[in-house]
Amino acid sequence: MSIKLSYDICKTVQYMHVNVINKSKKLKELRNEIKSLYNLSQPFQNSCVNTHTFYKPQNSIIASIANINNRINKNQHALTGIESKLKEKYNDIKSINDLIKNRYKSGLVTNEHDYKNMKNVLTNNFKSEINDLNQQKEILKIRLNENENTLAYFNNKSDFLSYPNQETLNFLFYTEVFPNRIERESIPKEKINIDCINNMINIHKKSLFISSENKEKINTYKEFLKKINIPF
């Protein structure tokens, strides 16, 4: 059985106007609402909040995907540039080898030792540059692969649609009302509303002085975002 409430804690968090003067009061009100909604949802199995409402993808996810796409484009552009430079270097080495070989055949260079020595001296600098470019290429390929894997992770997560759910409510409850790391860790991370978490961080930061308790909560939220590779 599920409970349908026309109440969205994530929207409350999003539109809560907090400043340095009213922060303590607003946080207290918010925690009371989280506690009340949590208690309402507990007697029901698989209960959800606003399960009848559909939402657009979360802003945090959209921004992350756009950021990753930008990194991928930059990686690909840099790889194309390196490939072009490598092609130039290989062509330069070939031209030098052909030139020295023709001189050797025509008798301008008569000693085979001198021929090999001249060839090595003139091409060693290019070989060093090629090695450097290949190292850069490998690093870029690793970064590109990491970014493509991260992008695939986000694109394949249909649960990243923004809907206020029991998991988000539970996470807020076990952070704001009854801090419990074990309970938080058991919540499926992919089902937690990331925009809501970012908004909670912003609320806690609205202060001239942040208490140790609120710093701990900020760190809890940041730790969660870090685990799912969301920048903050």
| Tokens (6 digits) for 44 | 């029901």
The DSSP symbol for 20 reads T
Structural contact between residues 64 and 155, judged by C-beta atoms closer than 8 angstroms: no
Q: Is residue 171's pLDDT more than 90?
A: yes
pTM over 0.75, yes/no? no
pLDDT beyond 90 at 201: yes
Write the pLDDT tens digit of every residue in 97-146. Answer: 777 777 666 766 566 666 667 667 777 778 888 889 999 999 999 988 88
* Length of the chain measured in residues: 232
Mean pLDDT of the chain: 78
Residue whose token pair is 């809890």: 220
Q: Specify the residue for token string 């991260």.
A: 150
C-alpha span between 159 and 57 (Å, rounded): 9
Reported confidence tier of residue 206, pLDDT bands at 50, 70, 90: confident
Q: What is the dihedral of CA 22, 25, 27, 32, to 10 degrees?
A: -150
- pLDDT at position 2: 40
Rounded Cα distance between 217 and 177, Å, is 11
**Location of structure tokens 């920048």:** 231
In sequence order, the 6+-apart residues with CB closer than 8 A to the CB of 188 are 159, 167
Mean pLDDT of the 196-201 span:
92
- Crossing angle of helices 212-227 and 194-205, in 10° steps, is 150
What is the dihedral sign for C-alpha 219, 221, 222, 228?
A: positive
Kind and range of the H or E run holding 82: helix 59-106
Structure tokens at 191: 């089902």
Q: Is the pLDDT of residue 162 over 70?
A: no
What SS3 string covers 155-175? Answer: HCCHHHECCCCHHHHHHHHHH
Q: What is the DSSP string of 117-152?
A: HHHHHHHHHHHHHHHHHHHHHHHHHHHHHHHHHHHH
Dihedral (CA of 40, 42, 45, 49) sign: positive
